[in-house]
Amino acid sequence: MLTDKTILLIIGGGIAAFRSLDLMRRLRDRGAHVTPVLTHAAEEFVTPLSVSALAASKVYRDLFDLTDEAEMGHIELSRAADLVLVCPATANLMARMAGGLADDLATTLLLATDTPVMIVPAMNVRMWEHPATQRNLATLRADGIAVVGPVDGAMACGEFGPGRLSDVPDIVSAVEAHFVEGPLSGKHVLVTSGPTHEPIDPVRYIANRSSGAQGTAIATALRDLGARVTFVTGPADVPPPAGVDVVRVQTAQQMLDATLAALPADVAVMAAAVADWRVENASGSKMKKDASGAAPVLSFAENPDILKTVAQGTTRPRLVVGFAAETDDVTAHATAKRGRKGCDWIVANDVSPATGIMGGSENSVTLITDAGAEDWPRLSKAETARRLAVRIAEALR
């Protein structure tokens, strides 16, 4: 899939830089030509000699190198690739990209290129979650830059959480997916997934049993058909797929905000199991038992209706797909929901405990459209997602 593709690999200065060595080897195994660029900070973690050996290519390091400029000017270097891949993308490098700085070879190449750019962030969890980094990330996404990861995991600093570099095979898969010319190439698809957590106090919350597995499978299937996928996910049990733009949220309000920020899109697949209500009188400190034995009284308020907001909004996607998880009269309730929300399709399923569907690996759905209700057989969630993705592609022809 990567035969004769040229990838300009910019290696940022973080501890994850050592994994770029394995990345280069795997990219070359798949037929790609890799042209490496080292930032000065990256040279603290990997040497130009090791990078050159694994890339089988000259390493570019300095903006004002007369020899390099004579052989290939930095403008030409930035445009000769089929993809510019930044791995790892540190907080500092992302900030400089978002600000449009060009103070070294790497950032000058990124500012001068008209080639697609993909970044693979890696940094300390606090740095990743900092509002400044999230603002920069939003800017880069708005500029059309693809983002792979990061993932949750243990870090060199001893902390655990989001910020760890995606696994190298997942990065390679994302690069391969970038070059896929599928029926959804050039289309932007928004997918929501997972549960939402509505706080009761700082340590307790209301949630549901959704694992996020079906939404993740749908995002993967749409990606594999060539779509650019924005994946808005609540705190799911399964990790998000590689090669999609991941936006993590906790509450329904946060999911609504992230969903609206991701529009416009050609398709919206609203697979998240959003909590219908939130605790209106959530406590800012942990609720404690007292000697009276009385339980606290929780007051509930209705959460925003994300599906209805998208389906009836001014930036409505061409195709809006909702989901209905029911325990009785599945088709009747889902058909009524489709009418109330104003979406084009509803994917309905029976999540009664006996089915094992919610949190399980299989699904049995009914697709409800203008043409009526179509029962699908019980399938793996991956196969259900593949069938849905194919139907979406057919609908956009």
Cα–Cα dist 395/283, whole Å: 47
Q: Pick from 217, 221, 257, 261: which is nearest to 237 by CA?
A: 217
Hey, what amino acid is at 25?
A: R
Tokens standing for residue 236: 């799911």
Amino acid found at 344 = D
Q: Is residue 177 within 8 Å of 224, Cβ to Cβ?
A: yes
Any alpha helices (H) in the chain, and if so which ranges? 19-29, 48-55, 66-71, 74-79, 91-99, 105-112, 125-129, 131-142, 168-178, 213-224, 252-262, 306-311, 330-341, 381-395
Amino acid, res. 378: R
CB atoms within 10 A of CB 310: 26
Q: Is residue 204 classed as helix, strand or coil in its secondary structure?
A: strand
Let me know: does 205 contact 223? Beta carbons within 8 Å: no
Query: 75 a known binding residue?
Result: no
286 is in an annotated binding site: yes
179 is in an annotated binding site: no
- Is there a binding annotation on residue 337? yes
289 is in an annotated binding site: no
Place of tokens 């979650």: 129
Active-site annotation, residues = 157
Q: 81 is written with which tokens?
A: 């690739």
Q: Are strands 188-193 and 228-233 parallel, antiparallel or unpaired?
A: parallel
The answer on whether 341 is annotated among ligand-binding residues is yes
Q: Is 152 annotated as a binding residue?
A: no
Q: Which tokens is 35 given? A: 């042209």
Q: Where is the binding site, in residues?
A: 276, 286, 304-307, 323, 337, 341
Binding-site residues for CTP? 276, 286, 304-307, 323, 337, 341
